Amino acid sequence: MAKKSVVYKCSKCGYTQPAWLGRCPECGEWNSLEECVLDTNAPKLLRKADGTVSKAKPVCMTQVAEQTNGRISTGIEEFDRVLGGGAAKRSAILVGGEPGIGKSTLLLQAASSLLSKGKILYVSGEESAGQIKSRASRLNLDAGSLEILCTVRLEDILDALDSLNPLVVIVDSIQTVYAVDAGLVPGTVTQLKYCSNELIGWVKERDSVLFMTAHVTKDGTIAGPKSLEHMVDTVLSFERTNDEVRFLRAQKNRFGSVDELGLFEMDEHGLKCVADPSSLFITRRKKETPAGIACASVFEGSRVFIVEIQALTVPAKAAVNRVYSEKIDSARVSRVSAVLEKKLGIKFSDQDIYINVAGGIRLSESAIDSALAAALYSARTDIPLPENTVVIGEISLAGEVRPVTKQRQRIKAAKDLGFEKCIAPESEPGAAAVESIKELVRCLFSPQA
């Protein structure tokens, strides 16, 4: 590791020497030598030609001019929604996802839309320029003026940034980039932190935006050190179901909400925004709805979705029952089934429980508790729910059905999609009110219950 050393630099003529003097030998100015740090590990943007790094000094808040971060629209509605209304200037955005999910396709489409606003530099360490052009032609993108740089050397990237001064920089992917100062092997912890810090420092000094793609590990988290996520302003996660639907979520966003969900469909022309996301997770059946299925109204950011929760109970194969649930937290399933067992006397402790959500969306809010309880009760008793019914509400450990936020909007969205009956914890226009889990079951399954 390079060592730090202290030199003394004249503030008038720039003369440096290792020891402090009262008078500069070069220009003869008195008391002009200031202490400076010579640090080869410092970012290149902070180092001067002579290798010195000026000391940072505190500034009073009253002397600081307020900075309003402008936003740049990517031209993709769902992408802008997750970013909080567009990409904020002087920000670094990390996009993670499994191989082949569409990270490069999404950023290439965004780059094509942004070409009318300024220069776009697309840095690829995984593909050749010919492969990128072939993809653009296959997607029918007008990307003739896109600047493409195929390299893995950080020094080449920084030289291109200084010469082009682009509005948007896309690095695909950051794991392939290496710097000579940090070693010769790309993808190491040191390389990731060093290269990311250099690129982020460049965009922070200009009204530019940096997009970086990143690989993910087997459990779906972004590969590399966790500090990489702390260094950037926004972390986006790309997920997909078994079909062609893609989900884009924000795990971190300094300039917007992390509750928004972007929905895309992949076809031969690339990623397209889902036209009608409200009904995406509803199964349209020609026959009667089977037992074990309940519909819930959930909020994802600023939008309401009606989702279908599916439950199945079978006798336990071992002495201890198990819960199989990927899209809903298994602890929530166990808690709701325990309340049903305590308050209604229906035994779940000898059953293996399987829970699924149609469309593959993950659900975490408490408003799905009532629908989950209805699906579990229906699966255990083999009694289907009434047709065109939506269940809303949180369930407490005492068996109460508690109110949830934005209840009126949830009911309105269900009515707009053709649902005739809504069950909610409070009396709302167009909904039946229940206060306990016993009333919920009686309202849904009476006179069978």
Closest CA to 311 of 296, 297, 299: 296
pLDDT at 338: 95
* Closest to 198 measured CA to CA, from 151, 153, 252: 153
Q: Domains in the chain, ordered, with CATH?
A: 1-55 (no CATH), 71-275 (3.40.50.300), 293-445 (3.30.230.10)
- Grade residue 1 by pLDDT with cuts at 50, 70 and 90: very low
What would the pLDDT profile of 108-132 be if each residue is shown by its tens digit? 999 999 999 999 999 999 899 999 9
- The enclosing H or E element of 196 equals helix 189-204
| Residue 130 near residue 138 (C-beta atoms within 8 A) | no
CA 338 – CA 334 distance, rounded (Å) = 6
User: What percentage of the chain carries pLDDT values higher than 70?
Assistant: 90
Alpha-carbon gap, residue 361 to 306, rounded angstroms: 11
Q: At residue 137, does pLDDT exceed 50? A: yes
- Residue 355, SS3? strand
The C-alpha atoms of residue 176 and residue 272 are separated, in whole angstroms, by 28
When pLDDT is averaged across residues 1-8 and rounded to a whole number, the result is 64
Q: How many residues appear in the chain? A: 449
Cβ distance 102 to 135 under 8 Å? no
- Predicted pLDDT at 449: 43
Residue-averaged pLDDT of the chain: 86
Burial class, 190, CB count within 10 angstroms (exposed 0-12 / middle 13-18 / buried 19+): middle
DSSP state of 4: P
* 276 pLDDT higher than 90: no
Reported as a single tens digit per residue, the pLDDT across 398-438 is 999 999 988 888 888 888 888 888 999 877 777 888 999 99
Q: What is the pLDDT of residues 87-103, one digit of tens each?
A: 999 999 999 888 888 89
Q: Which residue has the tokens 């942004």?
A: 114
Strands 245-253 and 234-240, how do they pair? Answer: antiparallel
For 259-272, give one letter per residue: b (16+ CB within 10 A) or e. ebbbbbebeeebbb
User: How many CA within 13 A on the CB side of residue 148?
Assistant: 20
Can you give the pLDDT at residue 371?
Answer: 95
Q: Which tokens belong to 87?
A: 């990409």
**In this structure, what token pair is assigned to residue 444?**
């849904």
- Hey, what amino acid is at 211? F
β-partners of residue 96 are: 214, 237
Q: What is the pLDDT of residues 145-204, one digit of tens each?
A: 999 999 999 999 999 999 999 999 999 989 899 888 777 677 778 888 889 999 999 998
Query: Which residues touch 171 (CB under 8 Å, ≥6 apart)?
Result: 123, 125, 157, 177, 199, 210, 211, 212, 213
Residue indicated by tokens 């059953």: 351
Report in angstroms the alpha-carbon separations of 106 from 73, 232, 271.
14, 19, 7
User: What digits encode the pLDDT tens for the residues 298-339?
Assistant: 988 778 888 999 999 999 887 788 999 989 999 999 999 999
Residues linked to residue 311 through DSSP beta bridges, in sequence order: 355
Residue 53 has pLDDT above 80, yes or no: no
Q: Which position has the token pair 């460049």?
A: 202
Q: What is the DSSP letter of 147?
A: E
Count CB atoms within 10 A of the CB of residue 9.
21
Nearest Cα residue to 384 out of 438, 434, 310, 316: 310
Evaluate whether 391 touches 370 at the Cβ level (below 8 Å): yes
Give the tens place of pLDDT for each residue, 341-381: 999 999 998 999 999 998 888 888 999 999 999 999 999 99
Instruction: Give the dihedral sign, CA 124/125/129/133.
Output: negative
- Of 162, 159, 158, 164, which is closest to residue 146 (Cα–Cα)? 164
